[in-house]
Amino acid sequence: MISPGAPKTNLLGLTPGDLETFVAGLGAKPFRARQLMKWIYRRGVADFGAMTDLSRDFRARLIEVAEVSPPEIVAHHASADGTRKWLLRAAGSSGVEQAVETVFIPEPGRGTLCISSQVGCALDCAFCSTARQGFNRNLSAAEIIGQVWLAHRELGARSEGPRVITNVVLMGMGEPLANYRNVLPALQVMLDDLGYDLSRRRVTVSTSGLVPQIYRLAEDCNVALAVSLHAPDDALRDRLVPINRVHPIAELLEACWHYLERQNGRNITFEYVMLDGVNDSLEQAERLARLLRGREAKVNLIPFNIFPGTEFRRSPRERIDAFRDRLMQRGVMVTVRRTRGDDIDAACGQLKGRVIDRVTSPLGGRRTTMEATA
């Protein structure tokens, strides 16, 4: 039973099993959970009164104890190339208002939604704007899946028409696997046929290399995996991606190959941001090829997107092309990411949201204390 006077339960982010448990607490049969899933995710309806195939009494009870509450939009920006970015309100761990960012990238034949998993990030990657913001808290499952729900509404998606959002990537603010407890149910809703019914190959979790959680994900959920590698050796990766000091490259790759074997995946994508004079030499391309040759791996070369205060610069296009060509000559599958949305700071590595009340976190292999500001 639901306790009288208890806060309303946000149904966004509840897995089908959790939703069945919830409706059972209201004295309803399990099929009501399936009806709710269709209304919330397939039709994008938040008003229980409009869910016309539910009984009148059940709708009245839902209005009393439940809600469908996505994050609130603080600001919206549209790029000249069609990319759209939403700044979403997220209360901080101490009640101070924070904000996270969600980006939609339209391309011929597909629409990719890039969502956030944390308010800020604690992993302190050297080339990432989000890392400079520090870390406040994990997003809830409702806040994670709520970004997908909200984008569907804002983009005018309809269940009966062609898909507007065909792919979802957890590559926004935060390290998804550091928020495993809340990311997992959100992934399950994305994949469920009563949720967004996305193919496992169209939902991608990006990680900087939290090895224990990669092994957990291999057991719990079959989605595409993208790994932020960015260097072909431990000495450089220690500098660029500090979690490498905890889980070095050899350990990380062993977890990746286990993930592929366990999930019968096609390949793992290794993200590699191209930093001028840092990681873009042909010798480094050779080292990277030796790490990945003969494996089901794809390298995604990402032209660095400059942000204020960064020490890094983007590799020249001819060097990116030469790096790509050397990998291909060595039998490594490789693509070069097209930069989108940089005129609204929506490109890879540029998301920063609003992280005001930053807290201490031990992630990244070192304890970093961020100053709180009023």
User: The tokens of 63 are what?
Assistant: 């209005």
Place of tokens 């660095």: 304
The reported pLDDT for the residue numbered 161 is 63
Q: Looking at the domain assignment, is residue 235 inside a domain?
A: yes
* C-alpha dihedral, 219 to 12 to 30 to 193, nearest 10°: -60
User: The tokens of 185 are what?
Assistant: 């149910």
Residues 14 and 104 in one domain: no
- Using pLDDT thresholds of 50, 70 and 90, give the confidence band for residue 257: very high
Residues 84 and 35 in one domain: no
The reported pLDDT for the residue numbered 98 is 83
Closest CA to 154 of 79, 74, 84, 107: 84
Residues 96 and 59 in one domain: no
The reported pLDDT for the residue numbered 96 is 60
Q: Looking at the domain assignment, is residue 1 inside a domain?
A: no
Boundary-marking domain end, from 18, 34, 67: 67
Q: Looking at the domain assignment, is residue 373 inside a domain?
A: no
**Mean pLDDT value of segment 252-277:** 94
Torsional sign, CA 213, 177, 93, 140: negative
The reported pLDDT for the residue numbered 350 is 46
Residues 59 and 83 in one domain: no
With beta carbons less than 8 A apart as the criterion, state whether 349 and 128 touch: yes
- Using pLDDT thresholds of 50, 70 and 90, give the confidence band for residue 159: low
With beta carbons less than 8 A apart as the criterion, state whether 39 and 21 touch: no
Q: Looking at the domain assignment, is residue 291 inside a domain?
A: yes
Amino acid at 214: I
Amino acid at 295: R
With beta carbons less than 8 A apart as the criterion, state whether 75 and 354 touch: no
Boundary-marking domain end, from 19, 35, 67: 67
CA distance from start to end of the chain = 42
Q: Looking at the domain assignment, is residue 336 inside a domain?
A: yes
Strand bridging mode 84-91 / 118-120 = unpaired
Give the Cα separation of 251 and 244 in Å (integer).
Answer: 9
Residues 47 and 149 in one domain: no
**Mean pLDDT value of segment 227-236:** 98
The reported pLDDT for the residue numbered 3 is 60
Give the Cα separation of 62 and 2 in Å (integer).
Answer: 11
- Residue 80 lies in domain: 73-365
Q: What percent of the chain is predicted at pLDDT more than 90?
A: 73
Boundary-marking domain end, from 46, 67, 88: 67
Judged against a pLDDT cut of 90, whether residue 309 lies above it is answered with no
**What mean pLDDT is reported for the chain?**
88
Residues 87 and 63 in one domain: no
User: The tokens of 299 are what?
Assistant: 């390298």
Q: Give the total number of structural domains in the chain.
A: 2
Residues 221 and 191 in one domain: yes
Give the Cα separation of 287 and 284 in Å (integer).
Answer: 5
C-beta neighbour count of 196 within 10 angstroms: 22
Active site residues: 101, 348
The reported pLDDT for the residue numbered 133 is 77
The reported pLDDT for the residue numbered 360 is 42
- CATH number of the domain residue 49 falls in: 1.10.150.530
Residues 198 and 213 in one domain: yes
**Digit-coded pLDDT (tens) for 160-212:** 667 899 999 999 999 999 999 999 999 999 999 999 999 999 999 999 999 99
Q: Looking at the domain assignment, is residue 319 inside a domain?
A: yes
The CA-atom distances, in angstroms, between 97 and each of 55, 105, 191 are 38, 27, 31
Q: Looking at the domain assignment, is residue 358 inside a domain?
A: yes
- CATH number of the domain residue 131 falls in: 3.20.20.70
**Digit-coded pLDDT (tens) for 325-369:** 999 999 999 999 887 555 545 455 444 455 544 554 444 443 332
Q: Looking at the domain assignment, is residue 370 inside a domain?
A: no
103 Cβ contact partners less than 8 Å away, ≥ 6 residues apart: 83, 84, 85, 86, 113, 114, 172, 341, 346, 351
Place of tokens 């070069």: 336
**Digit-coded pLDDT (tens) for 73-121:** 999 998 888 899 999 988 655 556 788 999 999 999 899 999 999 998 8
Residues 203 and 302 in one domain: yes
Judged against a pLDDT cut of 60, whether residue 374 lies above it is answered with no
Judged against a pLDDT cut of 80, whether residue 5 lies above it is answered with no
Residues 109 and 15 in one domain: no
Q: What percent of the chain is predicted at pLDDT more than 70?
A: 86
The reported pLDDT for the residue numbered 158 is 63
